[in-house]
Amino acid sequence: MWPSGRTAGAVLSFDFDAEEVWLADDPDNARRPGVLSQGRYGAKVGVPLILELSRESELRATFFVPGAVAARYPDRVREILAGGHEVALHGYTHRSPAALPPDEEEDELHRSLEALRALDADPVGYRSPSWDFSERTLGLLDREGILYSSNMMDDLRPYRHEGSRLIELPVHWMLDDAAHFWIDGRESWTKKISTPGGVLEIWQDEFEGIRRLGSVTVLTMHPQFIGRPSRLAMLRELVDVMQSHPDLWIATAREVAERADVALERS
Ligand code: ZN
């Protein structure tokens, strides 16, 4: 399924959540600027630094953006698009589809499509807030003609969902920066913040393993977590390692899903 000369793939994906994670967690957080500032960092500082890194490393990434974030930070989304990156769906608010009544889940999907299209994005991929599906999600995505999902942990290779056109680009907690870096208050203070070096070791070993299997490494990152200077330096190191493999194709999730779609059709 890879372009000629390539034997494996990698996708750098960023879930541009901004304040929405904290607003979904507790609507009362709307009155707590200190709490929300954890997410605002992503919009103010994280995304611009990620765009700079991408420019310098000449790579294109995929940004999953909640509709409400696109509405609040339209210029950031335009900058992402202007950098040649993909913008894809991540809910309207950051509420899990599994926690929504059916009409609200459908409404969220439609509003998020509208919000991204209003900024001239052409979203064809979906990552649910929290990687969570309801029993209706798959059918809704199919009906909207969505090409791919990036939410499931049951494989290392892209596959097609049963009874659906939808391509899955599998993810995993170990390749998610939130699992290693997310500390946001008293409940998580028993946890230690991981060192960038420790996370680099985990990511690099897993990347090498997936690459040897000829599959695709999907990194899930969040501007509010990965967007700190020491962590971005770590990401740059990982990108350098990836780019030292001439047989690796670093692409957007859409590009990988399009090739998987054709390859799975043939097989
Ligand atoms: Zn998210």
pLDDT (tens digit per residue) in 210-230: 999 999 999 999 999 999 999
The two structure tokens encoding residue 245: 């493999």
Mean pLDDT of 71-94: 98
DSSP bridge pairs for 142: none
- For the chain, the domains span 8-266
Taking only the tens place, the pLDDT of each residue in 117-148 is: 999 999 999 999 989 999 999 999 999 999 99
47 CA to centre of ligand 1 in angstroms: 14
Considering Cα of 145, then 146, then 151, then 155, what sign does the dihedral take?
positive
8 CA to centre of ligand 1 in angstroms: 26
Mean pLDDT of 199-207: 98
**pLDDT of 186 over the 70 cut:** no
Taking only the tens place, the pLDDT of each residue in 58-73 is: 999 999 999 999 999 9
Tokens 């350098």 appear where? 240
**pLDDT of 267 over the 80 cut:** no
239 CA to centre of ligand 1 in angstroms: 22
First to last CA, the chain: 10
Average pLDDT, the chain: 96
Q: What is the pLDDT of residue 184?
A: 81
Topology of the domain covering 8-266: TIM Barrel (3.20.20)
**pLDDT of 162 over the 70 cut:** yes
9 CA to centre of ligand 1 in angstroms: 23
238 CA to centre of ligand 1 in angstroms: 22
Mean pLDDT of 43-62: 98
198 CA to centre of ligand 1 in angstroms: 23
130 CA to centre of ligand 1 in angstroms: 6
Q: What is the pLDDT of residue 189?
A: 75
91 CA to centre of ligand 1 in angstroms: 9
Q: What is the pLDDT of residue 96?
A: 95
Closest C-alpha among 189, 208, 192 to residue 200: 208
Q: What is the pLDDT of residue 231?
A: 98
Q: CA angle 143-126-124, nearest 5°?
A: 65
Taking only the tens place, the pLDDT of each residue in 25-38 is: 999 999 999 999 99
- CA separation (Å) from 137 to 98, 149, 172, 177, 219? 9, 10, 20, 25, 23
4 CA to centre of ligand 1 in angstroms: 34
| Beta carbons of 116 and 67 less than 8 angstroms apart | yes
The DSSP symbol for 176 reads: B
Q: What is the pLDDT of residue 191?
A: 83
14 CA to centre of ligand 1 in angstroms: 9
Interatomic CA distance for residues 248 and 159, integer angstroms: 19
